């Protein structure tokens, strides 16, 4: 099998493939990135901004074509694909607009003399990104770092090669110098060796725990910094005072966005006893209405999963959970039709040793738990090794905020499904990774915080 391949998840058809980069070509690309850094680092924010704003503008101009490619390669519904293109464009624009302010010198107030901290770029960074949001994931990493003066080498997931090439083209068409943003068709097993190359100064990976552990090890071995955005099994807590119809609407969105293939999708619904029956009945009703269809059609409610292996893996997780004692309230199997479609599924009464209890379910499968106190809700919410996001629905915002303090995740949203926007920090804790992307925090991950101190040694 070729390293990089487009397989349409709606038809199962293998459409195109790309060869992996040769050793020699990789060497040349590393050299170009390294050379580019020497000039790019000296450019003003205004010069950098011109390129990034142009990337944002081009994304908007090409929205239809870019969106169609996402849908073709990983099966996202076309409406959502267009939303993703706009979100990615808004991230490029956000950093183009705000980077100068975020990275201004920081004056310090030492007892004697003067001092400030300057934010200097560190060089060529390697980004490793997943297929689930092919443009958004790259934007989160590339936009802040390019504005900060770093250069990017990008290893995208092997099932979205055409999206990967389009991103590189956006930069080229925006007038980026050669080496500023470079796509690499390189397989995962060559990354460890690449990490040892002195040109690479740091790495950021968004993906699974397994990939994260392997990258963190390679980074550690080479004394290079890493940022990891990994999996999640986010709780969605429904308190007894929540407005149920509104909560159900956003529970459906939270679980079913991107066909359930989002790291911050709501995965475990923890519902107070008093409203449990009503919530579950309405949630089930809404999921059962979701008909599978062609993801290229604007009216389609449910698209396919990204690949055959994703479908098989999820189906097996559900099967094993049911064998372990979980109850299947609806769904549970693939749709018997063309494409990698999984039925919207609800599991309840999930025992502690079931896979659904402790593993991430990356697709349209909701785990629902009944609790009778807030304390019980907190115990369940924290009964996972993940710590990415979470949501709380309640009529009492103060109560929601108090409860949020007890949830061990990087993000908690009150009366809103966990989400992402350019001006809010994104990231997790525990096994969901470390470091932050987006907002003013995301641009400070890969910088040399250089102290410049002025104080004559002879001054008293």
Establish if 388 lies at the interface with ligand NAP (CB under 6 A). Answer: yes
Cα gap 164→134, rounded to integer Å: 7
Which member of 84, 129, 229, 355 is catalytic?
229
- 89 contributes a contact to ligand NAP by CB under 6 A: no
Instruction: Check if the beta carbon of residue 18 is closer than 8 Å to that of residue 2.
Output: yes
* Distance between CA atoms of residues 428 and 448, nearest Å: 23
Q: Is 257 in the site for ligand NAP (CB under 6 A)?
A: no
- Residue 231 binds to ligand NAP (criterion: CB under 6 A): yes
Tokens of 175: 């007038």
When binding is defined by CB under 6 A, the residue of 230, 242, 366, 391 that contacts ligand NAP is: 230
Binding segment for ligand NAP among 183-191, 294-302, 396-404, 447-455 (CB under 6 A)? 183-191
CB of 222 to ligand NAP, least distance (A): 14
Among 154, 176, 211, 305, contact with ligand NAP (rule: CB under 6 A): 211
Residue number with CB closer to ligand NAP (177 or 425): 425
317 binds ligand NAP (CB under 6 A): no
Applying CB under 6 A, the span of 97-105, 150-158, 335-343, 392-400 interacting with ligand NAP comes to: 150-158
Q: Report the residue from 81, 119, 214, 384 that binds ligand NAP according to the rule CB under 6 A.
A: 214
Nearest-5° angle of CA 149, CA 154, CA 155? 160
Six token digits for residue 43: 């450019």
Q: How far is the CB of 229 from ligand NAP (least distance, A)?
A: 3
Q: Is the separation of the CB atoms in 452 and 115 below 8 Å? A: yes
From candidates 84, 93, 129, 315, binder to ligand NAP by CB under 6 A: 129
Q: Which stretch binds ligand NAP (CB under 6 A): 145-153, 209-217, 284-292, 451-459?
A: 209-217
Residue closer to ligand NAP (CB basis): 374 or 437? 437
CA angle 340, 64, 173 (to 5 degrees): 115
Q: Is 307 in the site for ligand NAP (CB under 6 A)?
A: no
Task: Name which of 150 and 214 has its Cβ closer to ligand NAP.
Answer: 214
The interface with ligand NAP within residues 417-446 (CB under 6 A) comprises 428, 432-433
Three-state secondary-structure class, residue 359? coil
Task: Tell me which of 34, 132, 150, 431 binds ligand NAP, using CB under 6 A.
Answer: 132
C-beta separation of 237 from 392 below 8 A: yes
How far is residue 133's CA from residue 458's CA, in Å, rounded to a whole number? 58
Work out whether 144 is an interface residue with ligand NAP (CB under 6 A): no
Are 92 and 56 contacting, i.e. CB atoms less than 8 angstroms apart?
A: yes
| 266 part of the interface to ligand NAP, by CB under 6 A | no
Q: How far is it, in rounded angstroms, from Cα 308 to Cα 421?
A: 31
Q: Is 252 in the site for ligand NAP (CB under 6 A)?
A: no
Q: Residue 85: name the closest of 62, 106, 102, 108 by CA.
A: 62
Interacting span for ligand NAP (CB under 6 A) from 51-59, 97-105, 223-231, 328-336 = 223-231
Q: Half-sphere exposure (CA, 13 Å, Cβ side) for 272?
A: 17
Question: In the annotation, is 129 catalytic?
Answer: no
* Whole-number Å distance between alpha carbons of 4 and 17: 6
Smallest distance, Å, CB 123 to ligand NAP?
A: 20
Rg of the chain over Cα atoms, rounded to whole angstroms, equals 23
- Please say if 36 is a catalytic residue: no
From 362, 369, 393, 446, residue interacting with ligand NAP (rule: CB under 6 A): 362
Dihedral, CA atoms, 48, 52, 54, 59, nearest 10 degrees? 170
Provide the minimum distance between the beta carbon of 230 and ligand NAP in the complex, in angstroms, as a whole number. 5
State the chain's maximal CA–CA distance in angstroms: 83
- Residue 201: which H helix or E strand, with range? strand 200-206
Q: Beta 433-434 vs 413-414: how paired, if at all?
A: unpaired
Choose, from 263, 355, 360, 445, the residue flagged as catalytic: 263
- Measured CA to CA, the distance from residue 460 to residue 112 in angstroms comes to 9
Contact status, residue 8 vs residue 303, Cβ threshold 8 Å? no
Query: Could you give the residue numbers annotated as active site?
Result: 229, 263
Residues that bind ligand NAP (CB under 6 A): 128-132, 155-158, 187-188, 191, 205-208, 211, 214-215, 229-232, 263, 360, 362, 388, 428, 432-433
């Amino acid at each position: 099998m070729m390293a990089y391949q487009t397989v349409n998840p709606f038809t199962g058809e293998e459409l195109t493939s790309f060869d992996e980069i040769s050793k020699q070509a990789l060497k040349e690309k590393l050299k170009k990135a390294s050379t580019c850094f020497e000039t790019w680092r000296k450019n003003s924010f205004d010069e950098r901004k011109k390129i990034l704003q142009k990337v944002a503008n081009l994304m908007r101009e090409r929205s239809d074509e870019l969106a169609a490619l996402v849908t073709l390669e990983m099966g996202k519904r076309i409406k959502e694909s267009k939303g993703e293109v706009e979100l990615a464009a808004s991230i490029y624009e956000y950093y183009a607009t705000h980077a100068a302010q975020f990275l201004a010198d920081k004056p310090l107030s030492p007892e004697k003399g003067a001092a400030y901290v300057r934010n200097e770029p560190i060089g060529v960074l390697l980004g490793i990104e997943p297929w689930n949001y092919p443009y958004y994931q790259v934007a989160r990493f590339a936009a802040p770092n390019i504005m900060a003066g770093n250069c990017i080498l990008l290893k995208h997931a092997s099932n979205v090669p055409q999206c990967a090439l389009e991103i590189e083209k956006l930069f080229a068409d925006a007038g980026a110098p050669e080496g500023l943003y470079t796509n690499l068709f390189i397989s995962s097993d060559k990354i460890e060796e690449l990490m040892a190359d002195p040109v690479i100064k740091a790495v950021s990976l968004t993906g699974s725990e397994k990939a994260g552990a392997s990258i963190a090890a390679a980074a550690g071995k080479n004394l290079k910094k890493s940022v990891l955005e990994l999996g999640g099994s986010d709780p969605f807590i429904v308190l007894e005072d929540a407005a149920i119809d509104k909560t159900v609407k956003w529970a459906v969105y939270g679980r079913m966005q991107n066909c359930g293939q989002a790291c911050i999708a709501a995965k475990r619904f923890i519902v107070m006893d008093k409203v449990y029956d009503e919530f579950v009945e309405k949630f089930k009703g809404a999921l059962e209405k979701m008909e599978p269809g062609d993801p290229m059609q604007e009216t389609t409610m449910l698209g396919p999963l990204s690949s055959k292996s994703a479908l098989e893996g999820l189906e097996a997780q559900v099967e094993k959970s049911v064998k372990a004692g979980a109850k299947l309230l609806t769904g549970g199997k693939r749709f018997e039709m063309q494409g990698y479609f999984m039925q919207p599924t609800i599991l309840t009464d999930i025992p502690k040793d079931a896979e659904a209890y402790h593993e991430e379910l990356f697709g349209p499968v909701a785990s629902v738990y009944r609790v009778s106190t807030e304390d019980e809700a907190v115990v369940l919410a924290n009964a996972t090794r993940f710590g990415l996001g979470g949501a709380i629905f309640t009529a009492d915002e103060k109560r929601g905020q108090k409860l949020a303090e007890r949830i061990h995740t990087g993000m908690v949203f009150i009366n809103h499904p966990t989400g992402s926007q350019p001006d809010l920090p994104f990231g997790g804790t525990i096994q969901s990774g470390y470091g932050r992307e987006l907002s003013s925090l995301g641009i400070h991950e890969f910088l040399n915080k250089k102290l410049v101190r002025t104080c004559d040694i002879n001054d008293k």
